[in-house]
């Protein structure tokens, strides 16, 4: 199975380069597609590969939707969809690894690590977005009213 080139995001950050979640999600989706294509062509392999393909590429597309959100609540909702799909991907990867459904099961381990890191990023992003929404909501109600 041909693997996507490894991207060292920590090195980019240390070099002062901007963290690019879109690029990271794109690289993740590419790796998921390649793993899905490498799954055994059995009934189980095709079934799990299809599920993995849909769940593992979804965060890239839904992140784009989040960037175009119509409101802060819509933004959080779209981020939660990304998180949900990443958790589904994680379980599919564990199944691919456990059965195993690919010839080279070692290729799953780095994807599990990246999935875990992406889950952590989205959990933190959702937490921050919710906190910002609360601050905006409380700030709107505490504005100085000249009638007071």
Average pLDDT over residues 57-83: 97
Q: Which of 69, 62, 67, 60 is nearest to 33 (CA)?
A: 60
Q: Assign 136 a pLDDT band (cuts: 50, 70, 90).
A: confident
Per-residue pLDDT at 107 exceeds 70? yes
Using a pLDDT cut of 70, give the percent of the chain over it.
82
Question: Which carries the bigger pLDDT value, residue 135 or residue 58?
Answer: 58
Name the pTM for this structure: 0.82
Average pLDDT, stretch 110-125? Answer: 98
Q: How confident is the model at residue 137 (pLDDT cuts 50, 70, 90)?
A: confident
Query: DSSP for the chain?
Result: -PPPPP--HHHHHHTTPPP-HHHHHHHHHHHHHHHHHHS-SSHHHHHHHHHHHHHHHHHHHHHHHHHT-SSHHHHHHHHHHHHHHHHHHHHHHHHHHHTT-SS-GGGHHHHHHHHHHHHHHHHHHHHHHHHHHHHHHHHHHTSPPTT-
pLDDT band at 6 (very low <50, low <70, confident <90, very high): low
d(CA 73, CA 75): 5
Any idea where the domains of the chain sit in the sequence? 20-136
Average pLDDT of every residue of the chain: 88
pLDDT at 145 over 50: no
Q: Which CATH class is domain 20-136?
A: mainly alpha
């Amino acid at each position: 199975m041909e693997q996507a080139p490894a991207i060292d995001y920590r090195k980019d950050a240390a070099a002062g380069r901007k963290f690019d979640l879109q690029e990271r999600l794109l690289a993740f989706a590419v790796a998921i597609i390649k793993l899905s294509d490498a799954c055994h062509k059995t009934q189980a392999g095709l079934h799990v590969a299809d599920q993995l393909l849909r769940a593992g590429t979804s965060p890239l597309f839904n992140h784009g939707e989040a960037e175009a959100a119509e409101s802060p609540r819509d933004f959080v909702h779209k981020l939660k969809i990304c998180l949900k799909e990443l958790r589904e991907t994680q379980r599919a990867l564990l199944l691919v690894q456990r059965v195993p459904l690919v010839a080279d099961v070692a290729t799953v381990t780095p994807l599990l690590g990246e999935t875990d890191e992406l889950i952590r990023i989205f959990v933190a992003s959702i937490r921050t977005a919710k906190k910002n929404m609360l601050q905006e909501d409380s700030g709107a109600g505490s504005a100085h009213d000249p009638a007071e």
